[in-house]
Amino acid sequence: MDPIRIAVVGVGKIARDQHLPAIAGNKAFSLAATVSPHDAGVEGVSHHKSLDELIENGPAVDAVALCTPPQVRYDLAVQALNKGMHVFLEKPPGATLSECVALSSRAEKVGTTLFAAWHSRFAAGVAPARAWLAERRIESVKIVWREDVRVWHPGQAWIWEPGGLGVFDPGINALSILTHILPRPVFLKTATLEIPANRAAPIAADIQFRDTAGAPIHMDLDWRQTGPQSWDIVVETDAGTLKLSNGGAVLTLPTGAEHSEDLEYPGLYARFANLIRGGRSDVDIAPLRLVADAFLRGNRQTVDAFHD
């Protein structure tokens, strides 16, 4: 079977650190091209300044991985879908819920694969955590997702703009795990968003969710963490405590801890290849829906200006 010829659109840190190595390590794909107006691309691989240029003058491409900021992703995705390309959407899959719904409808109409890729769901501890929780009564959940924005997003102005999500850019990773491992749906009760005086998106958030059985879920997000970073989910159940730490890589059950190799992006591309081969799409917007609810219902508090 011939490999899927894929182009990476948006060659920034996430593309170089995760997407390109994952594509290189998966025989189902071959890197046909890169697209970026700012980056020189990969040596020996066809490079283009825009998707228009790739379509007009570049090599044949079966699929694209969109690694651009979410605010510009919709038009690129529609353009690719209309050309019969399969589309991999980095998280979050769009700047709005309506964009995601429209893209899903377009992919179904043209008969191509659309994949909303939640990489944290492929962290080593997530699948076994989901299986263990399926047979337990959930009593409460606590999420602490605290990191230093200067380390993880230096100089990235887009992330502070409308649609950039602010602290929910990493926080949505926790929500992608939460909505995947809990056996019941989750919805928002209250939220407080702390927004710097010179920015449009929050730098911190304190959120109360609950599931449909009434279990309380507390989420603590903060981009001002220095020193050790915190990416932890603790679930109290009738059979003891489950903890996912290090972004889901480490699972601790009452019987002990398990730590496996990080295979998030290789797992994503294996999933994408399977979807393409099976003629299916996977566009789960539950994590983004919870973020939208926080912006819809959250109480906004202005805090000190933030400067890189």
Tens of pLDDT, residues 123-157: 999 999 999 999 999 999 999 999 999 999 998 89
Catalytic entry in 91, 142, 189, 243? 91
Q: Give the C-alpha separation, 143 to 175, whole Å.
A: 9
What sign for the dihedral angle of Cα 236, 246, 173, 20? Answer: negative
Backbone phi, then psi, for 190, in 5-degree steps?
A: -145, 160
Listed in order, the ranges of the chain carrying CATH 3.40.50.720 are 4-119+265-283
The distance in angstroms from the start CA to the end CA of the chain is 48
pLDDT in tens, 16-53: 999 999 999 999 999 999 999 988 889 999 999 999 99
pLDDT at 40: 85
CATH 3.30.360.10-classified regions of the chain = 121-260+292-303
Percentage of the chain exceeding pLDDT 90: 92
pLDDT band at 235 (very low <50, low <70, confident <90, very high): very high
Superfamily designation of domain 121-260+292-303: Dihydrodipicolinate Reductase; domain 2 (3.30.360.10)
DSSP letter string, 141-185: EEEEEE-BHHHHSTT-GGGGSTTS-TTHHHHHHHHHHHHHH-SS-
**The predicted structure's pLDDT at residue 166:** 97
Q: pLDDT digits over 170-216, tens only?
A: 999 999 999 999 999 999 999 999 999 999 999 999 999 999 999 99
Per-residue pLDDT of 79-99, as tens digits, reads 999 999 999 999 999 999 999
pLDDT over 80 (residue 261): no
Mean pLDDT, range 242-255, rounded to an integer: 95
pLDDT of 122 above 70: yes
Q: Would you state the pLDDT for residue 41?
A: 87
pLDDT grade for 260, boundaries at 50, 70 and 90: low
**Is 222 within 8 Å of 213 (Cβ atoms)?**
no
User: pLDDT by residue (tens digit) across 51-82?
Assistant: 999 999 999 999 999 999 999 999 999 999 99
Residue the block writes with tokens 């920015």: 199
Reported as a pLDDT band with limits 50, 70 and 90, residue 118 is very high
Chain-wide mean pLDDT for the chain? 95
Query: Which pLDDT belongs to residue 272?
Result: 98
* Domain 4-119+265-283: CATH class, spelled out: alpha beta
91 among known catalytic residues: yes
pLDDT beyond 70 at 259: no
- Three-state SS for 7? strand
DSSP state of 30: E
